[in-house]
Structure 1
Amino acid sequence: MQLITEILAQNARNFPDAVSLVERAPETGTRSSITWSEFYEESRRLSRALRMRGYSRGEKVVHLMTNCLEWLPYYMGILESGSWAVPLNFRFLADKILRCTLLSEAKVLIFGPEFVDRVRAVKPGLDAVVELYVFAGPEDQRPRFAMPMADLLSEGDGERARALPPVPLEPDDEAALYFTSGTTGDPKGVLITHGNLAFACEVEHRHHLQQPEDIFLCIPPLYHTGAKMHWFGNFKVGAATVLLKGVSPQWILQAVYEEKASIVWLLVPWAHDILHAIESGELNLEDYDLSHWRLMHIGAQPVPPSLVKRWKKIFPHHQYDTNYGLTEATGPGCVHLGMENIHKVGAIGQPGWGWECRIVDRKMQEVPFGEPGELIVRGGGVMREYYGNPKETAKSLKNGWLCTGDIARQDKDGFYWLLDRKKDLVITGGENVYPVEVENYLIRHEKIQDVAIIGTPDDRLGELVTAVIQLKPGMEMTEEEVNSYCLGMPRYRRPRIVHFGEVPRNPTGKIEKPVLRKRYAGIYSSFRRD
């Protein structure tokens, strides 16, 4: 199995003048692109420059940038140097940037213009480990404490630098440190190897069968394993990828049309927004030639079956797929629906290529068939460890199996259905309520745009099922309507409390339930049923 650094070199040899990456910025009306040879050379320049300064095998380099044309070449350059890439969430505030950088012990911090104020605010703390600050942005925005990226790259152009032999990399070598999204607590550093990355590349290609003519439209943030590992499918065959900086339905359809994109990975809210824009008449499909779009897939969260059914009515020719994964499994694909299994929409699927799955109880014993339990997975994408955290590592890695923390069940056909995270389970009056089941029921209502189910404390029942409902634009809904609609559910599952408001999601589409618990815990006045 080829390492991804080897695949990049191969693409530069085989497709030197073919477009590798396109960046579209609709707000500014700009479009730029680079070829595979330009991608490779930019990566090599950074790799050589880091090595000339002594940053190679075992060193860590923080990568703090929003999606842009340079993001992936810099990432690959860090890997080629033998250093660990440490991509950080672009929404991290200054304190989390400090915390993650200190945990990783990174000596180099590469950052874009969006992060100047945040980095400056915690620089005294960062100075405990960071030796070199590199600014990847316009010179007139560069802080004095940071070196221009152009100057660093030029150090990789010298005769001595170009004479450096490649760093020999092996599958067992450490490659990257990814921080979890923190939806259930503080982010943890997930240590990924070069073998993990190579395996993820193979999994994505086996699942979606990318060909050199495919064009992948990438919208989610690249710091996240989901976006990058879906990019791997096109990367493996030397196919082009378009980075779209913006999520409005018009921008997405315009990009698919003008770039002739054939594969688009969406998050649930974006798919909802596209459907609403079409159904409301805001967008007219006749304005776009979308005939080349073959695959729409969704991940990062449970997908309501009603959403996919609505999508197929408007786009009947689309293949559909969903992948389940997590950072600790090197991104998506450990469970995979499969493009041929549209009849199983709602399930997360079957074990992905090269993966095994089980449903177990608290003692790691398999539960009776069809019963809910914790999903555990095993395969070539399982992380090495939570870096610097042996206690959490021991909780999650058991005899080669990764404990996902997600509750699932398996049906008679061998498909897995995700019920919810173990920590999101609501226990009310002794009954287990899986939020995803209630959310999937409510989201079918024609007025509801998004919904989140949480548990809020109650002295008598332990917890009350609480719904936070975000309505579609221009819609109004009463508490009585929610009450009446929920009569179709078993009584114990019906929300006792309803709040109308925004459902916050992080950049990868996951509902930020800790935010909702903090916002609504102890507040029962909006709507309560006895």
Structure 2
Amino acid sequence: MPITDLLERNSKLYGDEIALVEINPEVHEEQRVTWKEYELIQPTGTAPYRREITWSVFDEKANRVANLLLGRGVHKGQKVAILLMNCLEWLPIYFGILKTGAVAVPLNFRYTAQEIEYCVKLADVDVLFFGPEFIGRVEDIAGSIGRERLLFFVGDSCPTFAEDYHRAAANCSSVAPKVLIEDEDEGAIYYSSGTTGFPKAILLRHQALLQAARMEAIHHQTTHEDVFLCIPPLYHTGAKMHWFGSLFTGSRAVLLKGNSPQSIFEAVSGEACTIVWLLVPWAQDILAALDRGVLQLPNYHLSQWRLMHIGAQPVPPSLIKHWLRYFPHHKYDTNYGLSESTGPGCVHLGMENIHKVGAIGVPGYGWEVKIVDELDRPVLQGEVGELCVKGPGVMVGYYHDPKATAEVLKDGWLHTGDMARQDEEGFYYLVDRKKDVIISGGENLYPVQIEDFLSAHPKVHDVAVIGLPDKRLGEIAAAIIQVKEGETCTEEEIRYYCTELPRYKRPRKIIFAPVPRNATGKIEKPRLREQYCGVRLVEAQSEG
């Protein structure tokens, strides 16, 4: 069944219950309003601290969006893009697009005007919904993308080159349109993270979206009583597919606009959140704040918080051990996935396997996994090779890029580009990205292994290991280390700490500097390689 059926089911079963809450910590006045009340105060420019929406209103809003698009000639298979920060409007617009049979195309809010134009044209987008944060960027390209496309503005003070979404949708029917949608229909295009150039357009079917929802609920034993705290951007498959667990069970979710340790704890405490998905940097920041005494656990109601899980990038085992010292009752899960596999979960640790922290886990619900060598032959257990996954969430392909599709999709298997190994108990361990492996003097060095080791140093807040050119060895390992706030660390301290590593794995260069991560928490290694090629060594002090 299409995933839109879940929304309609929730509207019937839980119509008067809260589906979504939006919290904006930047607004100091704790004004709480419903969606309808917000629409009444909107012209005054008053910004509420908290907004909420029920399942029935959620579905009605989605129906209005669908009927608006159908009334403007949008039909099944056409592409409709969303360029919004996380907000209550985001998901009703997304589901309204799906209800028309059109393909939803979420866009990264960090895109420049040129990247927005590139992605809109690559995906053959016919309609763009955008928010107030993007007026300048969209205006720069409106002359190019606005000639043949509808531009809907979601917010106050609609610019002249666009149409007011709220006003246009208010006059449309709230009854679900009669459009037949099947599992095999195309449902969404998500873009790759784009850390190595312009992103690729990843085409997914409705069955893949439904698989993600069912899998999330099964993996984390989500019930109707759970409350999910959603912090990452909804344009990304990670946040969206984890929220799909709430959709599958008809449970409440909280959209938090901000990721400071204090705002996260306030949201968990005030909204009685039970499930929180964090990125590694946010978990690091929380632990650092607890270590410094900036956060005090007794000041918050956290006993109902049962699950903390992390995905989107390798997770240092030392981080989770540190976390469990503060939250020994928490269940924990690591989720591995790609946008090409409809987000996280094709491999997951499993809440019952916390003793295997460090592994990415076992095949997720409905998935198969294998590791192959460069000739696509299965490797022996314990050997390193490329991780491949197969299941109902595998993408159709890269839109308008059959060559790139053929490189990663082979006989239904998705070649992830990640190097991994399997232990004797069947658990998979991520070793590194294939393109990030450092070959130094003929030895393969896997940066993730070195990063995991260095992250356990008591003065290290974050770390990235990259390969830099070397005339003698070909490449050498360089460690970029971000020191904890208030700490001072020297190269000699790090080198002494690294004596526990085999000599060939020890970083040859130590660089003290911030570790850049993108919006999904992944280390921006291409940027680091460009920045630090030939860098001179320095003694460091923390950036804090």
Normalising by the smaller structure, the TM-score range is over 0.9
In structure 2, C-alpha distance between the alignment counterparts of 1:313 and 1:166, rounded to whole Å: 53
Alignment of 1:10-409 (within 5 A): 10-29=9-28, 30-127=49-146, 130-139=148-157, 142-157=158-173, 165-409=177-421
**Contact preservation (8 Å) 1:64, 1:111:** yes
In structure 2, C-alpha distance between the alignment counterparts of 1:286 and 1:369, rounded to whole Å: 46
SS in 2 for 1:96: helix
Measured after TM superposition, the shift of residue 58 of structure 1 is 1.1
**Contact preservation (8 Å) 2:23, 2:256:** yes
Give the stretch that moved more between structures: 517-526 or 222-231.
517-526
Give the stretch that moved more between structures: 400-409 or 114-123.
114-123
User: CA distance change for structure 1 residues 314 and 165 in 2, over 3 Å: closer, same or farther?
Assistant: closer
In structure 2, what is the equivalent of residue 501 of structure 1?
513
**Contact preservation (8 Å) 1:184, 1:423:** no
SS in 1 for 2:202: strand
TM-score normalised over the length of structure 1? 0.96
Measured after TM superposition, the shift of residue 369 of structure 1 is 1.4
Measured after TM superposition, the shift of residue 152 of structure 1 is 2.3
SS in 1 for 2:125: coil
In structure 1, C-alpha distance between the alignment counterparts of 2:498 and 2:24, rounded to whole Å: 43
In structure 2, C-alpha distance between the alignment counterparts of 1:269 and 1:371, rounded to whole Å: 30
**Contact preservation (8 Å) 2:142, 2:161:** no
Which residue of 443, 446, 449 corresponds with 1:434? Answer: 446
SS in 2 for 1:107: strand
In structure 1, C-alpha distance between the alignment counterparts of 2:481 and 2:226, rounded to whole Å: 38
For 1:249, give the aligned amino acid. P
In structure 1, C-alpha distance between the alignment counterparts of 2:118 and 2:27, rounded to whole Å: 34
**Contact preservation (8 Å) 1:49, 1:154:** no
Same amino acid, percent of matched pairs: 55
In structure 2, C-alpha distance between the alignment counterparts of 1:120 and 1:427, rounded to whole Å: 46
Encode CA deviations 1:337-369: one digit per residue, 9 max, x unaligned: 000001100000000010000000111100111
Measured after TM superposition, the shift of residue 443 of structure 1 is 0.4
For 1:53, give the aligned amino acid. R
In structure 2, C-alpha distance between the alignment counterparts of 1:275 and 1:214, rounded to whole Å: 24
In structure 2, C-alpha distance between the alignment counterparts of 1:165 and 1:343, rounded to whole Å: 49
Unaligned runs of 5+ in 2: 29-48, 540-544
For 1:359, give the aligned amino acid. I
In structure 1, C-alpha distance between the alignment counterparts of 2:511 and 2:178, rounded to whole Å: 58
For 2:185, give the aligned amino acid. D
Measured after TM superposition, the shift of residue 124 of structure 1 is 2.6
Measured after TM superposition, the shift of residue 375 of structure 1 is 0.1
SS in 2 for 1:359: strand
Measured after TM superposition, the shift of residue 123 of structure 1 is 2.1
Encode CA deviations 1:232-269: one digit per residue, 9 max, x unaligned: 11111110000011111111111111100000001111
Alignment of 1:416-455 (within 5 A): 416-455=428-467
CA RMSD, 1 decimal: 1.2
TM-score normalised over the length of structure 2? 0.94
In structure 2, C-alpha distance between the alignment counterparts of 1:266 and 1:520, rounded to whole Å: 29
1:517 equivalent to 2:536? Answer no
In structure 2, what is the equivalent of residue 457 of structure 1?
469
Measured after TM superposition, the shift of residue 165 of structure 1 is 4.3
In structure 1, C-alpha distance between the alignment counterparts of 2:318 and 2:234, rounded to whole Å: 28
Measured after TM superposition, the shift of residue 334 of structure 1 is 0.3
Measured after TM superposition, the shift of residue 526 of structure 1 is 4.2
For 2:212, give the aligned amino acid. A
Measured after TM superposition, the shift of residue 524 of structure 1 is 4.3
Encode CA deviations 1:111-136: one digit per residue, 9 max, x unaligned: 000001111112233246x4211000
In structure 1, C-alpha distance between the alignment counterparts of 2:166 and 2:257, rounded to whole Å: 23
Measured after TM superposition, the shift of residue 186 of structure 1 is 2.1
